[in-house]
A = this chain, B = another copy of it.
Amino acid sequence: MRPAAEQAAQSLREEILSGVIASGARLGEAELATRLQVSRTPIREALTRLAAEGLVELQPHRGARVATWSTAELREIFELRLRLEPYAVRLAVPKLGPEQLDELQELAESMLRTGKPGRRQDLGPIVEANRRFHGLFIEVAGTAPLAAALRGVTHAAVVHQNFHDYTPEALLRSLHHHVEMVAAARAGDGDWAEAIMRAHLYNARATMIGVPRS
């Protein structure tokens, strides 16, 4: 839709999710317009779309900022992901084609390679691969309503660049979950894949916000 606006939204999304633009940063329309080489109109449209996705926050007459999430909101977000994403994985497993299984496996193995301890380098590529990994399941699960409901809810974890906060053990656990999920998918076992996704999310939640005391 609206090509220039869509492209602007895509660029901004990339920059926010990849951390180029920090959480909480101000997004001036004029600055974005000159930087992305379009006028303010498509920029404004892109901002309203990202606001609807929950990636940016809009205040009347006061402009846009990259969204921030309180601990309570993060807790809630994980609660929602736990209710939706394992279900999405279960739906996706029987629909995955061979080439998609190969892509998932490649993603899982590449994340495991760059995340191995001893190689203490940039974890940036993992963020992107992880996003693609989770996104592929949601995409294959297939239905638009599910994708829409999950869209806003998966952003927060990505923006918070959580991999840097993982302990080495938690990170390894997380990356092995990916590999195991591919194995479950290859076996066509939706129950297995769903269970691993659930464990994967609990592990992520524990490192990001700790275990809720309730």
Contact = CB atoms under 8 A, between A and B. Distances in A.
Interface stretch (A31-39, A144-152, A173-181, A188-196): A144-152
A17 to B, nearest CB: 17
Contact of A149 (B2, B44, B51, B153): B153
Interface string A41-67: 100110011011110001110000000
A198 B179 CA distance: 35
A118 interface: no
A192 to B, nearest CB: 19
A144 B73 contact: yes
Interface residues of A, number: 36
A204 interface: no
Number of copies: 2
A76 B143 contact: yes
Contacts of A48: 2, 5, 45, 48-49, 52
A140 interface: no
Interface stretch (A77-85, A101-109, A126-134, A205-213): A77-85
Interface of A: 1-3, 5-6, 41, 44-45, 48-49, 51-54, 58-60, 72-73, 76-77, 79-80, 83-84, 87, 143-146, 148-150, 152-153, 156
B146 A76 contact: yes
A152 B146 contact: no
Q: Which 10 residue pairs of A and B lie closest in terms of their CB atoms, listed nearest first?
A: A52-B52, A76-B143, A1-B60, A83-B83, A1-B58, A149-B149, A76-B145, A77-B145, A148-B152, A48-B48
Given A83-B84, A84-B80, A53 B54 contact: no
A194 to B, nearest CB: 13
Contacts of A60: 1-3, 6
A72 B143 contact: yes
